[in-house]
Structures are given as structure tokens and as C-alpha cells.
């Protein structure tokens, strides 16, 4: 079994078939059947039946799969379609263009972007955590104020009753 050199997210150019010459991002790779889905390539009309009450039956245009041998990877560095060489860099097997540039560079950037997004999400979550804590403190203060108000009203009542009793006694 030959190993599939194309990965999701790669930009490939179609070299044969009705979509020959088209370029697009790889959306999905099936390593078992060696077929891939490429953005805007081999568009098919899927007659999609509604499965739930709120869904509509409709004809959906989507990418059909093509054989992986019908495409060549476009190098993100030199912009040319290339066959894939393999090399080991820093103990990792990487795919290399005929120009010598690694084809994994784009993926590393993606990871960095993902990491940054995750970090910002974490920061947001921390902020969200901090905000409700402040709110609860404020709420506690409010309840305390309410309690003290109640206490004053009760004390006022008690003073009234004592004065009333005093009046009954004729003091
Ligand atoms: Zn290249």
C-alpha cells in the first residue's frame, strides 16, 4: 500500500479529469480509498432528504471525491505543483518540495493560530470567572444592607410596643 502524501488543508492542483487545472484546498482525505475532497472540485448535487420536521428537503451542491493520484500538491513556498519527497527534520518525517522547502510550514502556522485562539479563549474564560466573583460580592453587600434595614424596622416596632405597654400601664 502506498502512503497518501496529501493531507487536509494542503493546496493541490488537479492534473486530470473534468476539473483539470483547478486549484483548491483539500477538505477531506480518505486514506483507505485514497480519495480526497477538494474545495470547488468535482461538485456534485446531493438530493438531501429532510430527516427532521424543521429540515427541508433540498439539493445540496457539495464536493465529490476524486482520486488522490489526480492531484499534485502546490508548494506554499514556490507556488509550483510538485511531487513529494520525504526527509527527516528534527527527528520528524516531513514532506519536502522539489525546491527544497518543507510542505508542512503552512500546518505549523495553523497550529500557531490555533494555539493563539485557544489562549485568547482561556483569557476570556478567566475574565468571565473573575467578573461573576465581583458580582457575587456586590450581591452579598446588598443582602447585608437589606438585613440591616430589616433589623432597624424590627427594633422600631419593638420600641413602639414598649411605649404602647408603658401607656397602658399609665406611666
Ligand atoms: Zn516549492
Asked if residue 3 is part of any domain, the answer here is no
Radius of gyration, alpha carbons of the chain: 35
Distance 141 CA to ligand 1 centre (A): 65
Domain that holds residue 138: 104-156
Is 137 a member of any domain?
yes
CB 103 within 8 A of CB 96: yes
Ligand 1 ion: Cβ-proximal residues, 5 Å cutoff: 75, 77-78, 97, 99, 101
Q: What is the pTM of this model?
A: 0.59
- CA-CA distance, 127 to 118, in Å (whole number)? 14
Q: How far is the CA of 76 from the centre of ligand 1 (A)?
A: 7
Q: Look at residue 145 and give its three-state secondary structure.
A: helix
Let me know if residue 6 belongs to a domain: no
Say whether both 73 and 128 belong to one domain.
no
CATH of the domain at 34: 2.30.30.30
Looking at the structure, tell me whether residues 112 and 150 fall in a common domain: yes
The answer on 70 and 26 residing in a single domain is yes
| pLDDT 10s digits, 60-83 | 999 999 999 999 999 999 999 999
In a domain, 20, yes or no: yes
Domain count, the chain: 2
State pLDDT tens for residues 125-155. Answer: 666 666 555 555 655 666 566 555 555 555 5
- In three-state secondary structure terms, 102 is strand
- Please check whether residues 70 and 26 belong to one and the same domain: yes
Amino acid at each position: 500500500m502506498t502512503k497518501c502524501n496529501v493531507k487536509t488543508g494542503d493546496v493541490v492542483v488537479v492534473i486530470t479529469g473534468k476539473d483539470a487545472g483547478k486549484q483548491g484546498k483539500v477538505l477531506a482525505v480518505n486514506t483507505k480509498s485514497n480519495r480526497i475532497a477538494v474545495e470547488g472540485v468535482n461538485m456534485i448535487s446531493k438530493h438531501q432528504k429532510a430527516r427532521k420536521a424543521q429540515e427541508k428537503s433540498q439539493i445540496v451542491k457539495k464536493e465529490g471525491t476524486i482520486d488522490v493520484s489526480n492531484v499534485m500538491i502546490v508548494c506554499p513556498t514556490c507556488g509550483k505543483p510538485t511531487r513529494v519527497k520525504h526527509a527527516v527534520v528534527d527527528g520528524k518525517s516531513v514532506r519536502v518540495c522539489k525546491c527544497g522547502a518543507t510542505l508542512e510550514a503552512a500546518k505549523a502556522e495553523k497550529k500557531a493560530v490555533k494555539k493563539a485562539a485557544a489562549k485568547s479563549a482561556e483569557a476570556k474564560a478567566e475574565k468571565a470567572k473573575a467578573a461573576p466573583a465581583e458580582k457575587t460580592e456586590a450581591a452579598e453587600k446588598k443582602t447585608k444592607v437589606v438585613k440591616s434595614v430589616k433589623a432597624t424596622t424590627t427594633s422600631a416596632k419593638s420600641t413602639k410596643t414598649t411605649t404602647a405597654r408603658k401607656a397602658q400601664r399609665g406611666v
